[in-house]
Chain A
Amino acid sequence: MATDSQTLPVTQPVNISRPKKQNWWRIILYIALIVFTLTYMMPFFSAIVTSLRTQDDLSLNGVFSIPQHITLENYPQAWTQGNVNRYLLNSFIITIPALAGAIFLSSLSAFALARYKFPGNRLLYFMYVAGTMLPFQILLLPVFILSNTLGLYNTYWGVIMIHIAFQLGFCTFVLRNFMKTLPGDIMDAARIDGASEWGIYWKIVMPLTVPAIAAISTLEFTWIFNDYLWAIILLQDDSLKPVTAGLSTLQGQFITNWPLIVAGALIATLPTLLVFLFLQRYFIGGLTLGSGK
């Protein structure tokens, strides 16, 4: 049996219960963590510094140098001349209905799958789970053709519909598992009191599911907002593009103005960043809910 007096090998990681020598380890480890995290965030710092400089200064001296002068000009330029304001608005116009549609429809199927026994229940559940893992490429061409046929190509609704459909799988999966944990007695009691099945779904199960809905909504908001592939497949007009796709246009438009492109990219991160910072708890909850148990 090892005792406390035994010398530890150098590779020993931290152990909470041993005083003194452990303190040194903790300090070294702590410094290492700070250095690691700051290094990890370097691409952000580098981007911020890039966005505050001028193209001439940057291409001459590189980002790893003292800036000759700092300018905020790139942000308003990206916002107006680069059309980032329009692109961001489009992102919201697409994301909000897509999110609402996916949550509502998946709550219906989740309720059916969680609360009723019927032939095909498990099969449908597995179908939804499998669907969450499909590579988008298997749907790309037919959805492109379908959107053309339905007259949805190059409209917001084309993108909204595929988001609703694709996110149904994941949302159903999470909500169904959550609804399965709700106590059945409340529903039976409501049924005895004469509540309709719709009433049970809407007045009893949905209010109880709010925590799960809040969690996946924050997550789904970020996912849909950050989509790029469907936007470039289904939208052609610049005036309709969400910010992810708009940034490519910006990149082409200002090919010799790197600071402006990076400034545009940084503005584009704000909505999801704010959602995450303010709804962090739900966001993380959604991630862990989505990963199973």
Chain B
Amino acid sequence: MAVSSPPLPRKKRKINWTPYLFLLGPLLIYLIWIILPMLYTFYLSTTNWDGISPEAKYIGLKNFSSLFNSLGKRVPSAFEYSLVNNLKWLLVFITIPVAIGLGLAILLNNNIRGDRFFKLGIFLPQILSLPVIALLWNYGVYNPRAGLINSFLIQLGFTDPPAWLADKQLVIWAIIFAAAWRQVGYIMILYVAGLKNVDPLLLEAATVDGATAWQKFWKITFPLLAPVTTIVVVISIIDSLRSFDLVWVMTRGGPANASSVLAVLMYIQAFNNYKMGLGAATAVVLFAISLVFIVAYLTRVMRDEMEY
């Protein structure tokens, strides 16, 4: 597999430059568009740059302290709303769509007639772009009078159904619900693939031994699916931290920041309020939260890698 240096009568081992030549192009682009920008955001987060003036002044950690000092006030700050909403999003994402996706995968794994129809119907939202999903839900489902939910409630005789996206308490849950709707299909497909690796003979043997379906699930299927579950949880966490499109198109973070998430806050700070330094600091906070999970995942990948 690996290329050994050609068997020339040389004392010193020659460096093989071939892999570096292959890597040159991609790495250069990666460096310019990903690595250096990332580092530059760290730098920006310590300045008060406004995006217009040629000079950015170094102000140390002031941006961060202003973010964190805004926590715990009587009226929640935009940062607090965003942080809490990201957390809500994350907690919903690692539980409800995962449970539903797994449940569907197991049901559909039973050679059910028409399983392709079910899979397709549930996977379909995953193919749509988030702005499209936002518009479908805004106009088709959550519209205060004409939308699916409220026009149904009105038909049932409710005179004053909730304004889903205008209510400060409900709005973030309404958005997360639409996001979870999109997520389930993805998770289901990953579990369907994972279930192909669960040996049916094991389950049959357990049936012969008198195990109930519930026991078989918890004692055999679920432990065997552990690697898929890890991936699913990591993907769900990363997706929930990245969330921007849905919130931005559905509510712009409103009403009064109630549906803001860190990515939306960062955008508003930087591109609407011209506080590039503060926006960069918010991005760094978001990055720091992601980093915990990136590192956790990387350690796993590394462990797998060492087994080769």
Contacts and interface: CB of A to CB of B under 8 A. Distances in A.
Interface string A70-95: 00000000000000000000000000
Interface string A262-281: 10011011001100100000
A143 B132 contact: no
Nearest to B265: A137
B207 A108 contact: no
B193 A284 contact: yes
Interface in B18-47: 18-20, 22-23, 25-27, 29-30, 32-34, 36-38, 40-41, 44
A131 B154 CA distance: 48
A216 interface: no
B16 A116 contact: yes
A130 B148 CA distance: 41
A125 B135 CA distance: 38
Interface in A198-243: 201, 222, 225-229, 233, 243
A24 interface: no
Given A291-B190, A292-B231, A146 B210 contact: no
Contact of A33 (B32, B118, B279, B298): B118
Contact of B127 (A228, A251, A273): A273
A50 to B, nearest CB: 5
Interface stretch (B66-74, B138-146, B168-176): B138-146
A139 B37 contact: yes
B117 interface: yes
Interface of A: 1-3, 8-9, 11-17, 29-30, 33, 37-38, 40-44, 46-47, 50, 58-59, 61-65, 105-106, 108-109, 111-113, 115-118, 121-122, 124-126, 128-131, 133-143, 145-146, 161-162, 164-166, 168-169, 172, 184, 187, 191, 197, 201, 222, 225-229, 233, 243-245, 247-248, 251, 258, 261-262, 265-266, 268-269, 272-273, 276, 284, 287-288, 291-293
Interface of B: 1-3, 16, 18-20, 22-23, 25-27, 29-30, 32-34, 36-38, 40-41, 44, 107, 110-113, 117-118, 121-122, 124-125, 127-132, 135-137, 139-141, 143, 145-148, 150-152, 154-155, 181, 186, 189-190, 193, 204, 207, 209-210, 212-214, 217, 227-228, 231-232, 234-235, 238, 241-242, 244-245, 248-249, 262-263, 266-267, 270-271, 276, 279-280, 282-284, 286-287, 290, 293-294, 297-298, 301-302, 304-305
